[in-house]
Amino acid sequence: MSTAILKHEYLTEAEFRAWGGCLSFTSKAMQALDEALRKEHGISLTEFDVLITLYNAPNDRLRMTELSNRIVLTASGLTQLVTRLESKGLVGRSVDPADRRSFFAVLTSAGDQRLRESRPTHNEVIRSRLTRRLTPEQLATLGALWGVVAAAEKP
C-alpha cells in the first residue's frame, strides 16, 4: 500500500475565475434584490419568486409540488412560504378537482398587483448590477454562453 499523500485537485485559473465570478455575482445580486424588495415592497426575494412563477404559470396557478420544484424549496419550506403569502392575501390555495389530495397555489389579484409594483425594483437591481455594466455585445455573449450551459443540462 502506498504511503504517498494525495494532493488536492485544483481548478485551473480560468475555471476558478469563471466559477468564482458566477458565485460572487449571484450571491451579491440576490442579496441586493432581497434587500430592495423588502425595503420597497415588503416582500422577500423568495416571495417575489413565488409570485412571478405563479404569474408565468397557466391560469396563474401551480400544484404545490410543481411550485416547490420550480423555486427550489422543500415541500415544508414552500408550505410555510405559501402560508405567509396567503396571510398577506397575495396567494391562495385551491383543491385540485382532478385529485382532491392535491392543492394549487394561486396568484390572487393582490399578489398580481404586488408583483406589478415590485417588478420595476427587481429590474432596476438587475440593470444596475449587470446589464448596464456590459455593452450590448457583451450582454448578448453572456446570454448565449448561459444558453450553452443550460443546453448541456438537458437530457
Q: Can you list the residues of the chain whose pLDDT is less than 70? A: 1-4, 155
Residue 147 lies in a domain: no
Would you say residue 85 lies in a domain?
yes
User: Which residues lie closer than 8 Å to 63 by C-beta, 6 or more apart?
Assistant: 96, 102, 103, 104, 105
Domain with 90 in it:
42-129
Burial of 23 per CB tally in 10 Å (0-12, 13-18, 19+) = exposed
What is the spatial distance between Cα 82 and Cα 90, in angstroms, rounded to a whole number? 9
pLDDT tens string 13-57? 999 999 999 999 999 999 999 999 999 999 999 999 999 999 999
Is 30 within a domain? Answer: no
136 within a domain of the structure (yes/no): no
CATH assignment of the domain containing 61: 1.10.10.10
CA–CA dist 104, 20 (Å, integer): 38
pLDDT of residue 22: 94
Q: What is the pLDDT of residue 148?
A: 94
How confident is the model at residue 19, as a pLDDT? 95
Domain count, the chain: 1
